[in-house]
């Protein structure tokens, strides 16, 4: 099975929800997270509990969620790590480096926390969404939510041909390796550059061929799909409950 | 005499770089025929097929189902002339088998119920029922080939063009594809160099080499003619030796 859809076929309350409803719910969730005040720790704790509950409800292994977040968090850390040193404000700690002074400010630290916690919580939301929804269903959802069809098609083609291109690349690499046993590193790199060039031409030509196949079946630029199933009451309740909990979190924010 | 569904008169075509690919082709196909176009690689077999649903436009006259192939008629002609490409990965571009088979009918604005019905029928005809929700990438090559055929059958065309339907298949996959094609009750044009298959499926045969029609007649007679075949990069099939 491919990595993207690994846990998409589990049966759970979250998995059974209509993908459109899930996309809406999690996007609202992310908006609320982003708009939360930096110092309302209670609200963040509440979000954390809510996310944790959703993960448990979805029966996605916690290990998988952690693994997925580990691929995202280093990027955030790398961007945010300099903030405490650069932001001006109340100095908490300083250390002389030559003629310069390395300082950490309270404001900087708060901003760092702000970036990190919001990025992590939002990433977790998206991980639950993507892990509990098959890629194909996700596309359907985007389409149902009136995202331009052309963009949805591009995603769809990307998913469809990614693995084929990967296979082509692998085969060319094998063919290269079975002929170049020795040779200097530089020669290998040069060969690899050629392989990438050929891959590019191949994908370009495949694009043309796919387009011809589409035209042969009456494609005229607009994409048509069968309409979507209706939402069930449970789907509506799901969004309403999530929305209610998020509104509740706003009151928590007022308390602090 | 059966009605002519395809009439090609004096068709020539050159690739954009100027290399001639087809040279004054004359060919008629009657309703219900199974025509095999055989010839070596690069003979122009695929190029000829691509003219029949208006993907390529050469010089000359092509009449398909009583209408000239022209810009205005393209959509109509493509709904009646289905083309199955050689590489199923190019033919299957949607995320699931169902959506791929439904792509054609939806483009012709059929109502959803009708589309579902046609998808079910088409998949049944190629013995792929139950694969609706599968991802094309995870199918075997033979399965992909058969689903490719279903994507055309769902448009219920009058003519089906098949470009190398048995290439790259293992014997079992090949056998199955041949059976499925043999069961189709429409006009078929098969471009191939799988001569055993051509012998099995096609009554009429055409040899195409360097863009010219070299021979046109009964497939059996053509495939028995050792000198003719060998002059054009082909050989007599084992079953006829």
Alpha-carbon distance of B49 to B163, in angstroms, equals 8
Cβ–Cβ of B107/A224 closer than 8 Å? yes
pLDDT of residue A73: 85
pLDDT of residue B63: 92
pLDDT in tens, A146-186: 888 888 888 889 888 988 898 899 999 888 888 876 777 78
pLDDT of residue A256: 60
pLDDT of residue B44: 92
* A chain contacts of residue B96, beta-carbon cutoff 8 Å: 136
Residue B104 C-alpha, separation from nearest chain A C-alpha, in angstroms: 5
Of B90, B99, B151, the CB nearest to A210: B90
pLDDT in tens, A147-156: 888 888 888 8
Q: Which of B211, B230, B227 is nearest to B10 (CA)?
A: B211
A48 C-beta neighbours (distance < 10 Å), count:
14
Alpha-carbon distance of A30 to A245, in angstroms, equals 13
Question: Residue B38 pairs with which residues in a beta bridge?
Answer: B192, B207
Residues 6 or more apart whose Cβ sits within 8 Å of residue B85: A209, A212, A213, A216, B91, B148, B163
Residue A223 C-alpha, separation from nearest chain B C-alpha, in angstroms: 8
- Domains in chain B, please, with CATH? 32-54+79-235 (3.40.50.300)
pLDDT in tens, A191-207: 888 899 999 999 999 99
Alpha-carbon distance of B206 to B232, in angstroms, equals 12
Cβ–Cβ of B115/A226 closer than 8 Å? yes
Residue written as tokens 């963009």? A151
Q: How would DSSP label each residue in A157-220?
A: HHHHHHHHHHHHHHHHHHHHHTT-SS--HHHHHHHHHHHHHHHHHHHHHHHHHHHHHHHHTT--
* B chain contacts of residue A215, beta-carbon cutoff 8 Å: 55, 78
Of B87, B93, B155, the CB nearest to A214: B93
Burial (CB < 10 A; 0-12, 13-18, 19+), residue A65, is: buried
- Say yes or no to pLDDT of A74 above 80: yes
Q: A164, A167, A218, A221: best mutation site toward chain B, by most B Cβ within 10 Å?
A: A218
Query: Which residue positions in chain B have pLDDT lower than 50?
Result: none
Which chain B residues touch A if contact means CB-CB below 8 Å? 50, 53, 55, 75, 78-79, 82-83, 85, 87, 89-96, 99, 102-104, 106-109, 112, 115-116, 135-137, 151-152, 155
* A chain contacts of residue B102, beta-carbon cutoff 8 Å: 225-226
Residues 6 or more apart whose Cβ sits within 8 Å of residue A199: A165, A168, A169, A172
Cβ–Cβ of A156/B50 closer than 8 Å? no
pLDDT of residue A31: 93
Pairing of strands B59-64, B20-30: unpaired
* B chain contacts of residue A153, beta-carbon cutoff 8 Å: none
pLDDT of residue A1: 44
Cβ–Cβ of A225/B85 closer than 8 Å? no
Integer-rounded Cα Rg, in Å, for chain A is 24
Measured distance between the N- and C-terminal CA atoms of chain B, rounded to whole angstroms: 33
Alpha-carbon distance of A83 to A106, in angstroms, equals 11
Q: Which two tokens stand for residue A168?
A: 């082509």
If you average pLDDT over every residue of chain A, what do you get?
86
pLDDT of residue A173: 87
Average pLDDT over residues A10-19: 84
Alpha-carbon distance of A219 to B35, in angstroms, equals 27
């Amino acid at each position: 099975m491919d990595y993207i859809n690994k846990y998409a076929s589990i049966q759970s309350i979250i998995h059974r929800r209509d993908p459109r409803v899930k996309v809406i719910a999690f996007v609202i969730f992310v908006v609320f997270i982003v708009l939360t005040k930096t110092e309302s720790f209670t609200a963040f704790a509440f979000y954390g509990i809510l996310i944790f509950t959703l993960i448990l409800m979805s029966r996605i292994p916690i290990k998988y969620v952690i693994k997925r977040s580990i691929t995202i968090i280093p990027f955030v850390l790398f961007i945010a790590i300099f903030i405490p040193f650069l932001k001006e404000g109340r100095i908490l700690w300083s250390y002389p480096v030559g003629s310069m002074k390395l300082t950490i400010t309270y404001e900087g630290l708060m901003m760092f926390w702000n970036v990190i916690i919001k990025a992590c919580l939002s990433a977790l939301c998206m991980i639950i969404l993507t892990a509990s929804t098959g890629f194909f269903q996700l596309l359907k959802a985007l389409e149902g939510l009136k995202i331009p069809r052309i963009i949805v098609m591009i995603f769809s083609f990307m998913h469809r041909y990614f693995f084929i291109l990967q296979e082509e690349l692998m085969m060319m690499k094998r063919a290269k390796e079975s002929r170049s046993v020795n040779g200097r590193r530089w020669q290998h790199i040069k060969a690899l550059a050629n392989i990438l060039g050929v891959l590019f031409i191949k994908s370009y030509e495949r694009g043309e061929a796919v387009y011809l196949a589409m035209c042969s079946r009456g494609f005229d630029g607009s994409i048509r799909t069968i309409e979507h199933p209706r939402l069930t009451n449970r789907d509506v309740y799901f969004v309403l409950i999530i929305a209610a909990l998020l509104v509740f979190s706003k009151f928590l924010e007022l308390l602090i | 005499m059966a009605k002519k569904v395809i009439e090609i008169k004096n068709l020539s075509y050159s690739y954009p770089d100027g290399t001639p690919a087809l040279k004054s082709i004359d060919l008629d196909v009657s309703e219900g025929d199974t025509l095999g176009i055989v010839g070596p690689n690069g003979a122009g077999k695929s190029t000829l097929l691509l003219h029949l649903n208006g993907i390529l436009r050469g010089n000359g006259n092509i009449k398909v189902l009583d209408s000239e192939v022209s810009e205005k008629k393209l959509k109509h002609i493509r709904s009646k002339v289905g083309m199955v490409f050689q590489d199923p990965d190019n033919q299957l571009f949607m995320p699931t088998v169902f959506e791929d088979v439904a792509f054609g009918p939806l483009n012709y604005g059929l109502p959803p119920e009708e589309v579902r019905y046609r998808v079910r029928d088409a998949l049944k005809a190629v013995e792929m029922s139950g694969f609706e929700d599968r991802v094309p990438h995870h199918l075997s090559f033979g399965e992909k080939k058969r689903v490719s055929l279903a994507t055309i059958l769902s448009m219920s065309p009058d003519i089906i063009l098949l470009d190398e339907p048995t290439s790259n298949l293992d014997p079992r996959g090949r056998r199955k594809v041949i059976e499925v094609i043999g069961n189709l009750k429409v006009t078929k044009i098969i471009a191939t160099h799988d001569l055993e298959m051509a012998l099995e499926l096609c009554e009429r045969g055409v040899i195409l080499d360097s863009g010219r029609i070299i021979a046109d007649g009964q497939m059996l007679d053509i495939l028995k003619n050792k000198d003719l075949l060998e002059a054009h990069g082909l050989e007599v099939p084992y079953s006829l030796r």
